[in-house]
Structure 1
């Protein structure tokens, strides 16, 4: 479970996003991070039973992303993120790609899965898999329960025109034009504080699992 003080720390960080305050509250940050690491380890061990591709030896510390922002090319110069991000790859040890993602931010937390902004050969391979086996993907994303949990899959950001090598009148053009292949489900602060939140998150990941299988098959 997430401790109340973890969410309180993130709330305080929003209004005190500067180095002096952060250093003065470093112990609070360390405690909050350890809380998130603990939850991550619990999720990994349970999720492996659902998705065998999730490596049970994943180091939860490495799955929790850095809180320090890269401000070199950003107009926003605040040095710290106001959230904890957790990346759990659906295969192997490398973060990113086809994954499950947990976002912890007061009032804006969510669980997600799929493949965010694939590039190059991976994007080409996913589009090819959709073109060849769209029925398999549509069986997943058009399931009533899936839509109730994650919304309309096709409503993600799309290209303005058909991708190269595909006709605009292709019956699956709305899927082929997608830039990302992800789903998200919100998590309330109250839910995060529950003792069984790891089980709830893994339950949601079990619904994302077929999508991840489709995507992993595409890029294999």
Structure 2
């Protein structure tokens, strides 16, 4: 089993995106998913050695369901075009995880908070108001920019200042944001390399100060 098998399965699924097809290929789906869970368990062990407060996350708990939520998104296909998983999860708080997505229409590694709920966003803004210089220093680092290209585009950011903050606040551009997340796109060729786990670890390390800043903001 390998990522090659995963991509093959996902392409076939997208060409036959229906419950009937999935029912006929349920064993193949579980073979791919079980292999991915094992791969995630290996990565989890490696990440646990990077940081002493890393939250160990079993692969079977990390991997997301492949079904789309049709209740809230009725126009989406029945199944997703990717496998996704979140590691370094602290279920006792609003802790942002380290996310990996492998898919036919693009794969990436991401982390932070994408359009979080109000109380989480308020906590992040409080942290920026108190010490936005630290966040600016993190996201301005050369290696951070080379890895992520900056923060993910926030098309929904405020045009004015959030309630309670002046428009001439020195960190107003950060305060206007509704998302604080980063993403590193990976190609299928990179995923197929034997050192892909090591690449994930390096990206985790680069992302860690950013995630620590945000997680401290929403948990302290």
Matched residue, 2:10: 10
Matched residue, 1:199: 198
Matched residue, 1:52: 52
Matched residue, 1:190: 189
What secondary structure is seen at the aligned counterpart in 2 of 1:98? coil
- Check the 8 A contact 1:44/1:54 in 2, yes or no: no
Matched residue, 1:160: 159
- Check the 8 A contact 2:125/2:175 in 1, yes or no: yes
Matched residue, 1:139: 137
Pair 49,43 (structure 1): closer, same or farther in 2 beyond 3 Å:
same
Aligned residues: 218
Consecutive unaligned residues in structure 2, runs of 5 or more:
none
1:15-34 to structure 2, matched below 5 A, reads 15-34=15-34
Deviation digits for residues 15-57 of structure 1 (CA, Å, limit 9, x no counterpart)? 110011111111221111112212211111111122333223x
Whether 1:127 and 2:125 are equivalent positions in the alignment is: yes
Distance in 2 of aligned mates of 1:154 and 1:133 = 21
Distance in 1 of aligned mates of 2:93 and 2:5 = 27
Q: How far off is 1:13 after superposition?
A: 1.0
Consecutive unaligned residues in structure 1, runs of 5 or more:
none
- Check the 8 A contact 1:98/1:114 in 2, yes or no: yes
Higher relative contact order (CA 8 A, sep 6+): 1
Distance in 2 of aligned mates of 1:95 and 1:84 = 24
Distance in 2 of aligned mates of 1:15 and 1:28 = 16
- Check the 8 A contact 1:2/1:192 in 2, yes or no: no
Distance in 2 of aligned mates of 1:167 and 1:93 = 35
Whether 1:148 and 2:146 are equivalent positions in the alignment is: yes
Matched residue, 2:173: 174
